[in-house]
C-alpha cells in the first residue's frame, strides 16, 4: 500500500482528535467560568442589582405585563417559585442570570459549529467569555438577559430556516420573535436584522419563502396578543416607559455626545476580548488550498454576511435612532448583541489567519485574561 495515500487520512484523524480535545477543554472551562462569575458577586459582597430585586417584587403576582416591561422574565421567577420549588431569593436570580448566559453561549457554539466548524466555534466562545456584559454582569437577571437568549435563538433558527426551508425552523423563528417581544420591546432590533438578512437572499421559490415568513410573523403575533390586550386595558404602561427614551436627547450635540458615550461603553465591554486577540495574534499566510476553492469562498462570504448583519446591524440601528430621533441610548443595550462580534471576526479572513494558534495557547491566554478580570472586579467592589 502506498504510504502517501495514508497521510491525509492520518492527518484528518489527528486533526479530529485535537478538535475533540479542544471542545472538551472549552466545555470544562465554560463550566468553571459560569460557577466563578455567578459566585463572585455573592462572595465578594457586590451590591444587589436593582433589576433583580424589582423582578422578585413583580413575581409575587402573575400578570400579562408589569410597570415597565413585558412579563416573560418575571414569569420565569414565578415558575421557579411555584409550589415552593425554589425559594424566591436573590441567589436564585443570580442563578437564572447565569443560566441565560449559558443558554446564549450554547446557541453561539451551535451557530459557530454549523457555520464555521467546531474549532472556530471554540475560539469564538472563548472570546465571548471575555466580554464584560457576560462576566461582571452575569448575576444580573432582567429583560436584557432574557432578550439575550431570544436573540441567540432567533439567529440560530433563521440560519436553519433559510438553509433548509423547513417549516419547523420558520415556526421556531416566529416563537423566538414572540418570546423576545414578551421579554423586551428592543427585540424589534433583532427582528429588523433578521429581515435585513432575508432581503439579501434570492430563494428559489420566493412565494413559498414569503408564506413561511408570514407564518413566523403570525406565530410571534399570536404569542404577544394577550400582552397587547393587557397593555391596552391598563393604559399601556410598558409603551409609555419605552417612549420616554424617544426624543430625550433634543439637541444635535446631546445626541452626538450620547452616541459617543454609548459606543465607547460597548468598546470597553469588549476590551478584554480585544486584549485576548492581541495575545493570540499569530500572522500567517492564507491557506492556498482553501483560498482557491470556489465553493469554500462562496460559503464563507455568505456566512460573513449573515454574521456581519447580526453583529453590526444592532449597533448601526441604535446609533441611527440616537441621531435621528434623539433616542437616549442605554449603555446596557448592547447586552443582547455583542456576543455576535467574536463569531463575525472569526469568520473574516483576518480572523482565520490570526486564529491558527495552539489549543494550549487559546486556553492559557483566556485563563490569564479571566484572572485579570476577576482581580479588577474584586478591587472595584
pLDDT tens across 296-315, in order?
A: 677 888 999 999 999 999 99
User: For the chain, what is the radius of gyration of the CA atoms?
Assistant: 22
Tell me the per-residue pLDDT of 267-300, one tens digit each, with 9 for 90 and over. Answer: 999 999 999 998 887 655 555 544 456 666 778 8
Give yes or no for a contact between 219 and 178, defined as CB atoms under 8 angstroms apart: yes
Residue with cell 431570544: 150
Distance CA 60, CA 358 (A): 51
CA terminus-to-terminus distance, the chain:
66
The C-alpha cell that represents 71 in the structure block: 412579563
- The sign of the dihedral angle between the CA atoms of 246, 48, 180, 182 is negative
Residue with cell 493570540: 280
Distance CA 327, CA 316 (A): 13
What letter does residue 40 receive in the DSSP assignment?
Answer: H
Exposed (0-12), middle (13-18) or buried (19+): which is 122, by Cβ within 10 Å?
buried
**Percent residues over pLDDT 70 in the chain:** 92
Distance CA 36, CA 29 (A): 10
Q: 48 in helix, strand or coil?
A: coil
Tell me the per-residue pLDDT of 128-170, one tens digit each, with 9 for 90 and over. Answer: 999 999 999 999 999 999 999 999 999 999 999 999 999 999 9
For 339, other C-beta atoms within 10 Å of its C-beta total 29
Amino acid at each position: 500500500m502506498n504510504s502517501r495515500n495514508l497521510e491525509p487520512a492520518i492527518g484528518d484523524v489527528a486533526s479530529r482528535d485535537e478538535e475533540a480535545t479542544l471542545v472538551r477543554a472549552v466545555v470544562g472551562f465554560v463550566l468553571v467560568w459560569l460557577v466563578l462569575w455567578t459566585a463572585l458577586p455573592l462572595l465578594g459582597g457586590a451590591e444587589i442589582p436593582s433589576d433583580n430585586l424589582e423582578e422578585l417584587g413583580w413575581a409575587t403576582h402573575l400578570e400579562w405585563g408589569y410597570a415597565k416591561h413585558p412579563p416573560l422574565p418575571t414569569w420565569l421567577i414565578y415558575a421557579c417559585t411555584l409550589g415552593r420549588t425554589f425559594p424566591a431569593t436573590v441567589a436564585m436570580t443570580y442563578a437564572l442570570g447565569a443560566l441565560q448566559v449559558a443558554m446564549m453561549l450554547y446557541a453561539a457554539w451551535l451557530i459557530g459549529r454549523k457555520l464555521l466548524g467546531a474549532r472556530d466555534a471554540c475560539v469564538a466562545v472563548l472570546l465571548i467569555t471575555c466580554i464584560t456584559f457576560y462576566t461582571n454582569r452575569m448575576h444580573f437577571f432582567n429583560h436584557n438577559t432574557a432578550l439575550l437568549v431570544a436573540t441567540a435563538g432567533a439567529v440560530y433558527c433563521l440560519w436553519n430556516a433559510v438553509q433548509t426551508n423547513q417549516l419547523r425552523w420558520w415556526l421556531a423563528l416566529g416563537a423566538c420573535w414572540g418570546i423576545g417581544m414578551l421579554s423586551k420591546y428592543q427585540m424589534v432590533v433583532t427582528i429588523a436584522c433578521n429581515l435585513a438578512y432575508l432581503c439579501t437572499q434570492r430563494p428559489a421559490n420566493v412565494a413559498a419563502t414569503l408564506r413561511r415568513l408570514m407564518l413566523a410573523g403570525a406565530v410571534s403575533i399570536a404569542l404577544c396578543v394577550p400582552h397587547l390586550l393587557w397593555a391596552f386595558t391598563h393604559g399601556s404602561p410598558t409603551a409609555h416607559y419605552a417612549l420616554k427614551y424617544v426624543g430625550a436627547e433634543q439637541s444635535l450635540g446631546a445626541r452626538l455626545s450620547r452616541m459617543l458615550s454609548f459606543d465607547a461603553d460597548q468598546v470597553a465591554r469588549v476590551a478584554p476580548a480585544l486584549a485576548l486577540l492581541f495575545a493570540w495574534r499569530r500572522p500567517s499566510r492564507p491557506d492556498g488550498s482553501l483560498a482557491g476553492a470556489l465553493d469554500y469562498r462562496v460559503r464563507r462570504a455568505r456566512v460573513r454576511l449573515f454574521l456581519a448583519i447580526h453583529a453590526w446591524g444592532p449597533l448601526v440601528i441604535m446609533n441611527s435612532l440616537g441621531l435621528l430621533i434623539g433616542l437616549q441610548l442605554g449603555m446596557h443595550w448592547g447586552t443582547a448583541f455583542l456576543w455576535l462580534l467574536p463569531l463575525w471576526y472569526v469568520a473574516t479572513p483576518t480572523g482565520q489567519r490570526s486564529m491558527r494558534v495552539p489549543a494550549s495557547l487559546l486556553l492559557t491566554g483566556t485563563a490569564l485574561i479571566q484572572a485579570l478580570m476577576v482581580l479588577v472586579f474584586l478591587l472595584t467592589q
